[in-house]
Chains A and B, each alone.
Chain A
Amino acid sequence: MGNLVTAVLAGLGDGAVYALIAVSFVIIFRATGVLNFAQPGLLILGTFFTSVLAVDQGLPFWVAVALAMLIVAVISMGIERVAIRPMIGRPVFSTALVTVGLFIMLLILAFRLFAARARTINDPWQLDQWCLVQGEGSCTVAFYQHHAGKIVVVAVVLAVLGLWLSRSRTGLAMRATSLDQEAALAQGINVGRMFSLAWGIGGALAALAGILLAANGSVVQANDALFALVALPALILGGIDSLRGALVGGLVMGIVSALARTYQPVHAPWLGPNFENVAPYLVMILVLLIRPYGLFGTKEVQRV
């Protein structure tokens, strides 16, 4: 029982980060119709800049986070302007392939920047934990502070984002753009600026996710970018165009992965090590078989 609670709490912490990555995909997908496979690259750059600013330059952690998010947002907007804007009107598939190319470029860049070094980011949580239930000699239910921190940060960020999208004039314009670009243009919305903004926000969220992903009391390397791909099963589960789906999908994948980590070595050791990294993809395959548009994927309302 203690194991279960510990695993679920850890799963929620990791899941919050997966949800954030998934949301960063959804924001860009909704606004521009492109599934941006370069997100993991942006994510690891966010980690890198935070490490440089917080460790090498000695800035306070949250200042470093804000600056890193800003830098990555600018990079992301630059990418949109240079590589994606010219692809407007081309088949979505071609654009998606461009983003795959961008991903590889960003990954190579990240490897250069990290220079095969493992870095830390000086997060305030490290490996501290709260012991919720004290057993004999050891802790039965533990809650890592970094997991709690992740849940709080992601909750705040997504709440602000959701409010902004539903209430503000620009948020409304952005959603209008995602529904019908040409009709949005006809209302006088500057669609190009909306694309730019969506990529900027998507980049900043990816950077923040990268930072949170690295905040696990351990070191971070360039190829940790690949962990961001867990966002894909989360997206498939939630429905690829739904923010709420991204949130739920991310949390579920976090918990699935944590449960697999806790129980699989004991109950099904024949599945081999590192099974927790595979489990989300198994869930994804199941979802694709049963409900391909995901839990919250939109069914279009149409009257002809």
Chain B
Amino acid sequence: MLGVHNLEVVYEDVMLAVRGASLSVGRDRIVALLGANGAGKTSLLRAMTGLLDVHRGKITRGEVTVEGRPLDTGSASSVVRAGVGQVMEGRRVFVEFTVEENLRVGGHTAGARGMQEKFDRIYGMFPVLADRRNTMAGYLSGGEQQMLAIGRAMMSDPDYLLLDEPSLGLAPKMVERIRDLIVEINQSGTGILLIEQNAAMALSIAHHGYVMENGITVMDAPAEKLRADEDIQEFYLGIGAESTSLRDVKHYKRRKRWLS
């Protein structure tokens, strides 16, 4: 179980980005984390994976645990070694490296042993990468780059994989393929935390979901319950809004509902 307990994140000692987020991801689960722009999803992810330092942020309260043991979030490499991999927002593949070199960097913490088997496994999962293994990553299409980013993260054999907006900027067909791949990775025994603005996609495969707003996880429910929730439908799935005029949407109405 990967757990986040009441986490608080502050940037530059003044900007409070996450103020009390809690969630848990089991190894056999896909967990969706939904939220609008600026809700603190990416900050939460950075906090979990030791990348806050680069952005001049700090965890000021709370902790992250893996199988009950606290995770050393001060160092990104110890997070990876502890079995928590991530796919960053915007793919971030090494554009000047070939596909294979990208994967080799992904296996950095594991060392050279068993590298070939891992290549085989990733290439089996993403045949398109096998075809283009000596192509520079910058020349891949957006969808292929996303697959490469996921494959690269899988090279460290993570127990938990955190994905930040894997559907970002992809064609609907490609989004479907990525979605199926996420399910496949989960079925082979890797717990998934899926951070998405594309709530329809995320909720279609997730077992459980969290909704984040203003740095707090405001909702925590099984995915089917979220899918049925009126507010989620209105604010995240874009269906069932009874009024189309913004004038009729009362501000307080939305805020109040989360508390119930």
Please choose the segment from B16-24, B87-95, B204-212 that sits at the chain A interface, where 4 or more of its residues have CB less than 8 A away.
Answer: B87-95
| Nearest opposing residue in chain A for B111, CB measure | A169
Residues from chain A with Cβ under 8 Å of B142 in the complex: 303
The 0/1 profile, CB within 8 Å of B marked 1, for residues 68-110 of chain A is 0000000000000000000001000000000000000000000
State whether A89 and B105 are in contact (beta carbons under 8 Å apart), knowing that A180-B92, A182-B88, A183-B92 are contacts in the complex.
no
**Residue among A181, A184, A187, A301 with max Cβ neighbours from chain B (10 Å):** A187
Please choose the segment from B75-83, B186-194, B233-241, B242-250 that sits at the chain A interface, where 4 or more of its residues have CB less than 8 A away.
Answer: B75-83
State whether A187 and B105 are in contact (beta carbons under 8 Å apart), knowing that A89-B56, A180-B94, A182-B51 are contacts in the complex.
yes
Q: Is there an interface contact between A301 and B156, defined as CB atoms closer than 8 Å? A: no
Nearest Cβ distance between residue B149 and chain A, in whole angstroms?
9
Please choose the segment from A38-46, A147-155, A171-179, A201-209 that sits at the chain B interface, where 4 or more of its residues have CB less than 8 A away.
Answer: A171-179
A/B pair count, beta carbons within 8 Å:
84
* Selected contact of B51 from candidates A185, A298, A302, CB within 8 Å: A185
Residues from chain A with Cβ under 8 Å of B50 in the complex: 185
Q: Is there an interface contact between B76 and A301, defined as CB atoms closer than 8 Å? A: no
Residues from chain B with Cβ under 8 Å of A179 in the complex: 94-97
Is A274's CB within 8 Å of the partner chain B?
no
Is A126's CB within 8 Å of the partner chain B?
no
Please choose the segment from B64-72, B133-141, B176-184, B221-229 that sits at the chain A interface, where 4 or more of its residues have CB less than 8 A away.
Answer: B133-141
Q: Is there an interface contact between A298 and B156, defined as CB atoms closer than 8 Å? A: no
State whether A182 and B92 are in contact (beta carbons under 8 Å apart), knowing that A187-B108, A188-B80, A190-B77 are contacts in the complex.
yes
| Nearest opposing residue in chain B for A88, CB measure | B54
Residues from chain B with Cβ under 8 Å of A184 in the complex: 105
Is B220's CB within 8 Å of the partner chain A?
no
Number of A residues with CB within 8 Å of any CB on chain B: 24
Question: Considering the complex, which residues of chain A in the window 263-304 have a beta carbon less than 8 Å from any beta carbon of chain B?
Answer: 298, 300-303
Residues from chain B with Cβ under 8 Å of A185 in the complex: 50-51, 54, 76-77
Q: Is there an interface contact between A182 and B54, defined as CB atoms closer than 8 Å? A: yes
Cα A301 to Cα B94 with chains together (Å): 10
| Nearest opposing residue in chain B for A189, CB measure | B108
* Selected contact of A188 from candidates B76, B139, B145, CB within 8 Å: B76
Q: Is there an interface contact between A189 and B77, defined as CB atoms closer than 8 Å? A: yes
| Nearest opposing residue in chain A for B82, CB measure | A188
Is B152's CB within 8 Å of the partner chain A?
yes
Residues from chain A with Cβ under 8 Å of B153 in the complex: 186-187
Is B215's CB within 8 Å of the partner chain A?
no
Cα A206 to Cα B164 with chains together (Å): 42
Cα A188 to Cα B77 with chains together (Å): 4
**Residue among B76, B105, B142, B153 with max Cβ neighbours from chain A (10 Å):** B105
The 0/1 profile, CB within 8 Å of A marked 1, for residues 144-173 of chain B is 010000001100100000000000000000
Nearest Cβ distance between residue B164 and chain A, in whole angstroms?
10
Nearest Cβ distance between residue A166 and chain B, in whole angstroms?
9
State whether A176 and B94 are in contact (beta carbons under 8 Å apart), knowing that A169-B111, A303-B140 are contacts in the complex.
yes
Nearest Cβ distance between residue B112 and chain A, in whole angstroms?
6
State whether A172 and B92 are in contact (beta carbons under 8 Å apart), knowing that A185-B54, A186-B76, A186-B86 are contacts in the complex.
no
Is B27's CB within 8 Å of the partner chain A?
no
Is B109's CB within 8 Å of the partner chain A?
yes
Q: Is there an interface contact between A301 and B138, defined as CB atoms closer than 8 Å? A: yes
Cα A300 to Cα B86 with chains together (Å): 25
The interface of chain A, by Cβ under 8 A from chain B, is: 89, 169, 172-173, 175-176, 179-191, 298, 300-303
Q: Could you pull out 14 A-B pairs where Cβ atoms are within 8 angstroms?
A: A169-B104, A172-B104, A172-B108, A176-B105, A179-B94, A184-B105, A187-B80, A187-B106, A187-B153, A188-B76, A188-B80, A188-B109, A301-B95, A301-B96
Rank and list the top 10 A-B pairs by shortest CB-CB distance, nearest first. Answer: A188-B80, A301-B138, A188-B109, A183-B92, A185-B76, A188-B77, A176-B105, A179-B94, A190-B77, A301-B95
